[in-house]
Amino acid sequence: MTSTSSLDHLYKHLFAKMVGGLVKSVGIKNISIAEDIVQETFLAAHQQWNKAIPDKPQAWLFKVCKNIALKSIKNEETHSSIEKALHIQVEADNQETDPVFEMLLACAHPRFSPKQQVIFALRYSAGFKVDQIANILLSKPESITKVLQRIKLLIKSENLNFLPGPPDEATQKILLNILYLMFSEGYKTSSGKSILNTALCEDALSFIQTIIKSSDLSTPDAKALYALMLFNLSRFEARFTKVGDLIDLEHQNRAHWNSEMIKVASHYLNEARTKHLSKYHIEATMAYLHCTADSFENTDWRKIVSLYQKLHLINESPFIQLNLAIAKFYAGNMSEAFSQLKELGTVTFINNYHLYHVALGKILDRKNESALAIQHYQKAITLTAHQSEKKYIQNLIGKSGYSN
């Protein structure tokens, strides 16, 4: 391993641990100071490891980090807690209160928007660099930096602190939503960031596992979210051809789905049973129905329709109505589905959403109206910026008229 690649690996693994450890001593309002110390540590490593990588790189980093911290923080009282926080890190990787997880809890604050929470979590819990986060969220590094600065400003100006003791119900809800969004960003299909995507999904999975293992935090909702992640992951690879082109659910080779993972997911979905239904229960149940059906046609679409109806009660939005109408079509309710879709087209945001036109195109194709279908596919191409999606839709145009 070269010094750069091993440092990149260590950065991803240790950045959040180190910042989190320091924050424990200096307080979250001084997160910028903690971050500067850790950055300086990695800069030192970058300069010195060119000659020789130390025998114990991780211990080296913690030691240097501690020294920089002691030098730059004048407060004597803080010194002993810094020694302690960083010392524990070297001694044991798995301690009771993982600072990375505490950083995740810190951003599960109702004062922040979900987007701010996700960006904070990607930086200070998952340890992604700013340009990697920009890449993941298809944004610009400057915008990510701006969001991070805004969060730090809010932490300072509103004097936000780590809440002692186990998190309350509201915090737990926000926490699950952060992990749901993190995972979704990782699962999204856009080319050129597949390694980051995999890392992100793995991070979200590992955080939800921590929650499920914790007696204070494990809830039916958390188990349902875990099941949902596993169902989706079981299809992770099957969504692409060998050259990386997208394959939709209908045309994926179901033999390539990870059946072991589907079994584990089903187990957790079963364990998640409870009286109330969260969006994770509903989405995981839909994923279960897809994962266990032997073909696209043999999927229990009527059940999926009723699940979308329930989801719409929890989270009313035209985007869910869109999925509901699509499910109705495959459940055999074609005329009702078609008229609902047409009506949704009067909503500007839906009419300018590429997947709406993809859905209409597919339905028109099935009705042997390929000329009209192609019009919708062409509109869809103009509405997405993702090359992989454009290519996928172009493929649909090529196949239009031949599919039946």
Partner 1 sequence: MKKFMLLIREDLRLLEKMTQEQSEADIHKMVGWVEEITQSGNFVQGDPLENGMTLVTKDEIISDGPFIEAKEAISGFTIIKAESLQQASEIASSCPLVQTGQIKMEVRPIMEF
Is 306 among the residues that bind partner 1 (CB under 8 A)?
Answer: no
Cα dihedral 143, 236, 282, 172, rounded to 10, equals -50
Cα dihedral 383, 389, 394, 396, rounded to 10, equals -110
- We find the least distance from the C-beta atom of residue 109 to partner 1, in angstroms, to be 9
CA nearest 252: which of 242, 241, 238, 262? Answer: 238
Q: Residues 242, 224: contact at Cβ < 8 Å? A: no
CA nearest 16: which of 114, 121, 132? Answer: 121
Is 342 among the residues that bind partner 1 (CB under 8 A)?
Answer: no
Q: Which is nearer to partner 1, 181 or 397 (CB)?
A: 181
Is 113 among the residues that bind partner 1 (CB under 8 A)?
Answer: yes
Q: Which of 112, 120, 226, 392 binds partner 1 (CB under 8 A)?
A: 112
Structure tokens at 22: 């320091």
Is 159 among the residues that bind partner 1 (CB under 8 A)?
Answer: no
- We find the least distance from the C-beta atom of residue 342 to partner 1, in angstroms, to be 17
Distance CA 104, CA 19 (A): 12
How does DSSP assign 350-384, residue by residue?
A: HHT-HHHHHHHHHHHHHTT-HHHHHHHHHHHHHH-
Stretch that binds partner 1, among 36-44, 214-222, 294-302, 317-325 (CB under 8 A): 317-325
Stretch that binds partner 1, among 159-167, 230-238, 240-248, 342-350 (CB under 8 A): 342-350
Q: Which is nearer to partner 1, 333 or 388 (CB)?
A: 388
How many residues of this chain bind partner 1 (CB under 8 A)? 26
Distance CA 226, CA 204 (A): 9
Is 317 among the residues that bind partner 1 (CB under 8 A)?
Answer: yes
Q: Which of 348, 371, 402, 404 binds partner 1 (CB under 8 A)?
A: 348
Residues in contact with 180: Cβ distance below 8 Å, sequence separation at least 6, in sequence order: 225, 228, 280
Q: Which of 4, 214, 339, 352 binds partner 1 (CB under 8 A)?
A: 352
Distance CA 306, CA 299 (A): 13
Q: Which of 111, 273, 342, 399 binds partner 1 (CB under 8 A)?
A: 111
Q: Which is nearer to partner 1, 8 or 142 (CB)?
A: 142
Q: Which is nearer to partner 1, 15 or 187 (CB)?
A: 187
Q: DSSP state, 49?
A: T
CA nearest 289: which of 273, 308, 274? Answer: 308
Q: Residues 350, 376: contact at Cβ < 8 Å? A: no
Is 315 among the residues that bind partner 1 (CB under 8 A)?
Answer: yes
Is 319 among the residues that bind partner 1 (CB under 8 A)?
Answer: yes
- We find the least distance from the C-beta atom of residue 117 to partner 1, in angstroms, to be 9
The contact mask relative to partner 1 for 378-397 (x = CB under 8 A, - = no) is -----x--------------
Distance CA 129, CA 104 (A): 16
Residue ranges in 185-204 that form contacts with partner 1 under rule CB under 8 A: none
Q: Which is nearer to partner 1, 80 or 149 (CB)?
A: 149
Q: Which is nearer to partner 1, 329 or 353 (CB)?
A: 353
Host H or E run for residue 343: helix 334-344
- We find the least distance from the C-beta atom of residue 353 to partner 1, in angstroms, to be 6
Q: Residues 337, 325: contact at Cβ < 8 Å? A: yes
Binding site for partner 1 (CB under 8 A): 110-116, 143, 147, 150, 170, 177, 181, 184, 279, 315-319, 347-349, 352-353, 383
